[in-house]
Amino acid sequence: MAVRIRTAPAGERKLSWWDRLYFPAILSGLRYTFQRLFKKPVTVQYPEEPIVLGPEFRGRPVLVAENGRERCVACGLCARVCPPFAIHMQAAETDDPKERYPAIFEINMLRCIYCGLCEEVCPEEAIVMSPEYDIVFRSREEAIFTKEKLLVEKKLLEPRLQWLQRMRNPQFGKYFRFRIGNNIHSLKARSMVAQGEEVAS
């Protein structure tokens, strides 16, 4: 099928004498400004008014706390992938021979660039980007967020966790689904089974 390509008519960009005065453009700009004076302002009076952001927003990375402990199994992938080496962690053994936990887990928030790669590689959905954006610290030491400061209850992170389920790598389809057969040691799998949730096998 032949494709018709529309070309601009000759002289389309040529300005008339009236256009060259620039009055129409100025008046049209002023008219728009005047109209906006009577509309509801879109400016948010931050910090007096908090800004509510959607689950797609990447705020500071946090660790998911579930059943009174971290979900993290100290695999080290997030620390490995972090471009500015902002994550420092130290794994330790638990009573379960298949399980480890992070005895130390720290993020240097002076280095973090909010890229979200740690969240992307985590096999446990144990580190996620929270909606928190107003972070304050007064010294370099305060900028090192320890495990205690990083742990956030799972229920507070539900919107982001659900968004990740929907949006993360949809091109992989069912193959991206969490598979208990590949994660027999997984804290997440155990917690899902305990709560009677369906886990792909």
| Residues that bind ligand SF4 in the complex, under the rule CB under 6 A | 61, 72-78, 82-84, 86-87, 107, 112-118, 121-122, 124, 126-127
Tokens 């993290």 sit on residue = 72
CB of 27 to ligand SF4, least distance (A): 48
| Distance in Å, CB of 86 to ligand SF4, minimum | 4
Please, which residue, 77 or 199, has the CB nearer to ligand SF4?
77
Is 127 or 164 the residue whose CB approaches ligand SF4 more closely?
127
CB closer to ligand SF4, 107 vs 189: 107
Matching residue, tokens 């298949």: 98
Query: What number of other Cβ atoms are within 10 A of residue 60's Cβ?
Result: 19
Nearer to ligand SF4 by C-beta: 44 or 104?
104
Q: For the CB of residue 142, give the shortest distance to ligand SF4 in the complex, in Å.
A: 17
Q: Taking the complex as a whole, how short is the minimal distance between the CB of residue 104 and ligand SF4, in angstroms?
A: 11
Q: What is the 3 state secondary structure string of 132-197?
A: CCCCCCCCCCCCEECHHHHEEEHHHHHHHHHHHHHHCCHHHHHHHCCEHHHCCCCHHHHHHHHCCC
- Report whether 118 contacts 82 (CB < 8 A): yes
Q: Tokens at residue 189, please?
A: 């799998």
Q: Closest by alpha carbon to 143, among 118, 119, 111?
A: 111
Q: In 38-93, which residue ranges form alpha helices assigned H by DSSP? A: 77-81
DSSP state letter for 200: B
Q: How far is the CB of 113 from ligand SF4 (least distance, A)?
A: 4
Q: Pick between residue 78 and residue 189 the one whose CB is nearest to ligand SF4.
A: 78
- Residue 88 tokens read as 């420092």
List the structure tokens of 11: 């002289």
CB of 105 to ligand SF4, least distance (A): 7
**Nearer Cβ to ligand SF4, position 23 or 114?**
114
